[in-house]
Structure 1
């Protein structure tokens, strides 16, 4: 690459990277309401509520510190305590620190995607633009930008997945026996990835399975040699994860956080398979998010499936015939991880509306696969121009991502969706009163005395759901005086279960904005 071409590439990458970073930080400049509404999701506020309670001395809890919970991913929650410790628990000012933390791990993800893409797409350093295009597509994709800034662990988890895979690649390239520093480093990284999100267990299983297959079947090493290579770091990963697992089992009766149990409780086998192809397609083509009304239509599913399988097959054939052995094994581990995550969330889990977020760590592999195919087509169809058509096409895809990000800034394009519930409670309910909702993330952050009813952070409600099939009797026999949530919850007012209709009356019920409020007919004494 000539010096002029290098400076041109560096300038364009720097400009686009700065644009993506400033986009993530614009709520800090504009302040309220963007600071609390633009990126923050309902479930994100659940995690922030727990982080704040930890910072102000209430422990890992919700509902003004009265209900202990483990319905979070621990590493991100602990990181999110830092702004609250700094501000003494201020709910608004602390959001500045939260945005900075999420931007920091998004930046880390950007450079990790570039590093992974360079190892796969440009191992000889002949096409430096392609890895940067991959990183920019990841960094500027509207879906992925929102996922990495959602108040949850998605950005941190995605970065840790890439870090583990890149270190695994380094280990595969080493011919000398691994010293304890390598075992310790890889083991710590695997354990940290697990603490970032429990799904990393799939990644670790995939990595160690591929590592064992390589040693036993491909290299034909003795079992003792293979065990010495992989067991120490695996045990260290388990030791890092063990305190969290023991806490969950001893205090809550299961190693699975209550949030995972609540999400999967009403799941039916295979219920998410219909949305899986479209969600995967959106990561192969990050500049083409599919509108929600089209996601479950048969033509869109068929096109998404065909494109995704076609790109993946082309990519894998190329990797397994032209890439080095370490890269092939690393890609195989990534692919197995993707298959396990897709199978778990596609077949056994609920919450189809969260599928895109659950699959977000697979986006780097999908983007790299698409660029691999694009580069091959460019070389074959435009022999005299080499990779230029691929670079132009990738640049156009980045431009489309930027345009879509601009659209999100239009009024009404990106609304939090729960602030109308918060506004009603702030206007009509005293701080001392107890309010409940199925969706308590946003409401529970802004009104301390809020009780969760879907069980994602409330083991008591989860047990009521498990025991009785609903939480109506639990609500009737509780300290709750108000229920405030979306419009659909208003249907509870006619339910006779546990004497609910006799105890609560419907006082607000509007479709736009979506709001339902029920009030106990005889209120508890304040306090």
Structure 2
């Protein structure tokens, strides 16, 4: 029986070795396509300012830029140069703050350099994750290490969702890098020595500073090290637990203490402003949509233009949900159909494969905890794709394994597919460049304020990130970065009379925001409180206070 089994394996690998020439060609093409994608990503820094500011970067990223600007120019940890704030993730903000110091406060050029920082994390995360795949996929259905590396490297760089998260102005790309760093270090060392636990605990502490919800991952890993394996003496398991949890806590403790001592709460105001515990169907639906989207292999649907002007948007959403689910089910079916050849992998280099699986399971549990926590606690559905970004890594790994399976049978199809993806990304970028040159775009909010609000007067807004970065006399009203505004919020979005009083007390005579925020702050009829509509532009409303009736 053993002889037959071994003969079967030898025949399989002889058959697979015939693809070595195809693999060499594929690797060469993967390198070329990866270079093209890297050049496209790098050239984002050269796009016109109006595009970077109003299209590429999301509004919340400017909160971090403004705080980093104030730190870099010596004004302290503040959003307006005076009042302290904690509505940000600390590591990325402190990382980019020296840029403003070096540039002596040049806010425009700083944006280009911040994009360079994003690019470094982009290529570093792709590189580390490709190393993880190279070790984990070694020998799987004919994979050579070099093929596995360049395949996953290309898959990471070409994923539209990952690229978007890396270059949105926030800490998400940095977070993906640290996820990859933790996975790589666990795979490399297996945490065999006390030194490994010390370094790993420090890395976890730094990752908490990148995004504080990583504390859930620290708890999961620490408990795993305490309970597994139970055959290890109790004192050793306790030591592992204390080293990992203790060092992570010590490294991140300055941030926790700052939050508690200055603001009276461990959680930053950016989280508190969007917190509302509830079991809500739209949240559950959105969370499941994001989960399926992130896990789906080869999900390049966002590269295609969707004719929302001619087709009902809701129908398009349903179609995409079904398409993503089809991709995920199809990917799982391919894996199950090839489970016998995949099982050969278990006899090859067990060490790296086992470590990869263990940390992957811990990371998956962490992702599910985040899914449950944010679905129950946060009404900010538009940020779920960032909160659950850890699942994108599993989608890339699934894509990598399926690529290996398909390449052994249809090598030309795989190569043509990646060529097509690279061409689509290049065409989309060229279209973006042309559009940015022909049709400059400025945020209607910025334009309204610039046209009507005198420079010496204060203007308030819930969505105040972009506005506050370029205009000093801007007051955040939704509480993300303004602890004092947060205290007069009605988190259920019902009208709260405390906001008109807050506006009067702080001499804020102008508000420019979306209609839901206007209703939240001033009710459905703002004129009752003396606020008159000045102008509306593309969903943005500018109101001026002219005295209560």
How many angstroms does 1:271 deviate by?
3.8
Instruction: Show the counterpart of 2:99.
Output: 83
Instruction: Show the counterpart of 1:137.
Output: 155
Tell me the TM-score normalized by structure 1.
0.85
Name the CA distance, whole Å, in 2 between partners of 1:257 and 1:212. Answer: 30
Relative to structure 1, the CA distance from residue 405 to residue 437 in structure 2 (aligned partners, 3 Å threshold; closer, same or farther) is: same
1:461, 1:474 within 8 Å by CA — same for their partners in 2?
Answer: yes
Decide which moves more: 193-202 or 7-16.
7-16
- For residues 188-199 of structure 1, the aligned pairs below 5 Å read 188-199=202-213
**1:183-226 Cα distance to aligned partner (Å, 9 max, x none):** 3311111111111111212322333344445322xxx2222222
Relative to structure 1, the CA distance from residue 460 to residue 16 in structure 2 (aligned partners, 3 Å threshold; closer, same or farther) is: same
2:458, 2:507 within 8 Å by CA — same for their partners in 1?
Answer: yes
Name the CA distance, whole Å, in 1 between partners of 2:204 and 2:264. Answer: 25
Name the CA distance, whole Å, in 1 between partners of 2:438 and 2:220. Answer: 37
Name the CA distance, whole Å, in 1 between partners of 2:202 and 2:506. Answer: 43
The one of 331, 335, 348 equivalent to 2:377 is: 348
Task: Show structure 2 runs of 5+ residues with no match.
Answer: 1-16
The one of 262, 283, 301 equivalent to 1:288 is: 301
Name the CA distance, whole Å, in 2 between partners of 1:396 and 1:202. Answer: 39
- For residues 292-307 of structure 1, the aligned pairs below 5 Å read 293-294=313-314, 300-301=320-321, 304-305=324-325, 307=327
Instruction: Show the counterpart of 1:51.
Output: 68
Decide which moves more: 12-21 or 475-484.
12-21
Name the CA distance, whole Å, in 1 between partners of 2:485 and 2:275. Answer: 15
Relative to structure 1, the CA distance from residue 263 to residue 254 in structure 2 (aligned partners, 3 Å threshold; closer, same or farther) is: same
1:24 aligns with 2:41: yes
Instruction: Show the counterpart of 1:423.
Output: 447
Name the CA distance, whole Å, in 2 between partners of 1:461 and 1:481. Answer: 15
Decide which moves more: 25-34 or 313-322.
313-322
1:178 aligns with 2:203: no
3-state DSSP of counterpart to 1:199: helix
Relative to structure 1, the CA distance from residue 300 to residue 169 in structure 2 (aligned partners, 3 Å threshold; closer, same or farther) is: same
Name the CA distance, whole Å, in 1 between partners of 2:27 and 2:441. Answer: 39
3-state DSSP of counterpart to 2:534: strand
1:116, 1:166 within 8 Å by CA — same for their partners in 2?
Answer: yes
Task: Show structure 1 runs of 5+ residues with no match.
Answer: none
Instruction: Show the counterpart of 2:4.
Output: none
1:238 aligns with 2:262: no
Instruction: Show the counterpart of 2:328.
Output: 308
Name the CA distance, whole Å, in 2 between partners of 1:361 and 1:408. Answer: 28
How many angstroms does 1:401 deviate by?
4.5
- For residues 329-368 of structure 1, the aligned pairs below 5 Å read 329-368=358-397
How many angstroms does 1:242 deviate by?
0.9
Name the CA distance, whole Å, in 2 between partners of 1:417 and 1:270. Answer: 36
How many angstroms does 1:398 deviate by?
4.9
Relative to structure 1, the CA distance from residue 433 to residue 139 in structure 2 (aligned partners, 3 Å threshold; closer, same or farther) is: same
Instruction: Show the counterpart of 1:109.
Output: 125
Name the CA distance, whole Å, in 2 between partners of 1:416 and 1:206. Answer: 48
- The structure having more radius of gyration, on CA atoms, is 2
How many angstroms does 1:509 deviate by?
1.9
Tell me the TM-score normalized by structure 2.
0.82
Instruction: Show the counterpart of 1:518.
Output: 543
**1:237-272 Cα distance to aligned partner (Å, 9 max, x none):** 110011101111111111111101111237654542
Relative to structure 1, the CA distance from residue 372 to residue 486 in structure 2 (aligned partners, 3 Å threshold; closer, same or farther) is: same
3-state DSSP of counterpart to 1:373: helix
The one of 155, 169, 176 equivalent to 1:158 is: 176
1:259, 1:457 within 8 Å by CA — same for their partners in 2?
Answer: yes
1:476, 1:500 within 8 Å by CA — same for their partners in 2?
Answer: no
Relative to structure 1, the CA distance from residue 402 to residue 371 in structure 2 (aligned partners, 3 Å threshold; closer, same or farther) is: farther
Decide which moves more: 220-229 or 314-323.
314-323
Quote the RMSD (CA, aligned, Å).
3.5
Name the CA distance, whole Å, in 1 between partners of 2:384 and 2:242. Answer: 33
Decide which moves more: 396-405 or 474-483.
396-405
How many angstroms does 1:101 deviate by?
0.9
1:374, 1:390 within 8 Å by CA — same for their partners in 2?
Answer: yes
Instruction: Show the counterpart of 1:437.
Output: 461
Name the CA distance, whole Å, in 2 between partners of 1:409 and 1:26. Answer: 10
Name the CA distance, whole Å, in 1 between partners of 2:401 and 2:27. Answer: 22
**1:413-436 Cα distance to aligned partner (Å, 9 max, x none):** 999987221122223323321100
3-state DSSP of counterpart to 2:283: coil
Decide which moves more: 12-21 or 344-353.
12-21
Name the CA distance, whole Å, in 2 between partners of 1:276 and 1:3. Answer: 42
The one of 225, 228, 235 equivalent to 1:214 is: 228
1:187, 1:236 within 8 Å by CA — same for their partners in 2?
Answer: yes
**1:95-132 Cα distance to aligned partner (Å, 9 max, x none):** 12111111111111110221122233236762533432
**1:394-453 Cα distance to aligned partner (Å, 9 max, x none):** 554555444454554452799998722112222332332110011001001011111111
1:274, 1:296 within 8 Å by CA — same for their partners in 2?
Answer: no
Relative to structure 1, the CA distance from residue 452 to residue 413 in structure 2 (aligned partners, 3 Å threshold; closer, same or farther) is: farther
2:371, 2:388 within 8 Å by CA — same for their partners in 1?
Answer: yes
